[in-house]
């Protein structure tokens, strides 16, 4: 076998390996998430069905709009790093400096973006006012 053929083969094989890894990783990212945390003082509102994939695929949001790990005030999380649940850092009961409570973490993340989209005219239906656009009715 000549060298050129071997290097072409190596390139193809490397591509296959990367593709496989890519597919495996994608499978670990949930398409849809029902957010229903425990530990609040009161559980006043119903669960929130969140179309995860629609947000990063159809709405083309980068992961770091929502996922973060701060170091010296900067978000150092990057795609491929392990994803921690919001509740691992945001406590449902108490805030710790800039680390807001869990409810506020969700509300600030979800509603702030939606509100900006509507105010800037980029969307007419991104929900931020009506509770039932996100929260299911409590049974």
Footprint on this chain of ligand HEC (rule: CB under 6 A):
28-30, 33, 35-37, 40, 42-45, 47-48, 50, 52, 55-56, 59, 61, 63, 65-70, 73, 79, 83-90, 98-100, 103, 105-111, 113-114, 117, 123, 125-128, 131, 133-135
- Taking the least distance from each CB to ligand HEC, the nearer of 85 and 119 is 85
CB of residue 134 to ligand HEC, shortest distance in Å: 3
CB of residue 21 to ligand HEC, shortest distance in Å: 14
Q: In whole angstroms, what is the distance from residue 15 CA to residue 10 CA?
A: 8
Closest CA to 135 of 65, 46, 75: 46
Closest CA to 126 of 113, 109, 107: 113
Q: Which residue has the tokens 């509740």?
A: 87
- Taking the least distance from each CB to ligand HEC, the nearer of 12 and 33 is 33
- Taking the least distance from each CB to ligand HEC, the nearer of 18 and 70 is 70
CA atoms within 13 A on the CB side of 84: 10
- Taking the least distance from each CB to ligand HEC, the nearer of 13 and 43 is 43
Asked whether 69 and 80 are in contact (CB, 8 A), the reply is no
């Amino acid at each position: 076998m000549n060298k050129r053929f071997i290097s072409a083969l190596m390139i193809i094989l490397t591509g296959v390996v990367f593709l496989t890894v890519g597919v495996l990783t994608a499978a670990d990212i949930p398409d849809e998430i029902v957010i229903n945390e425990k530990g609040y003082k009161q559980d006043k509102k119903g669960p929130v069905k969140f179309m995860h994939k629609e947000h990063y695929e159809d709405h083309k949001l980068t992961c770091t709009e929502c996922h973060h790990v701060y170091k010296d005030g900067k978000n150092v999380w990057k795609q491929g790093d392990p994803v921690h649940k919001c509740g691992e850092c945001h406590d449902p009961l108490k805030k710790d400096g800039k680390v807001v409570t869990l409810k506020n973490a969700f509300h600030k993340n979800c509603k702030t973006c939606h509100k900006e989209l509507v105010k800037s005219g980029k969307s007419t239906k991104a929900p931020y006012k009506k509770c039932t656009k996100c929260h299911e009715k409590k049974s």
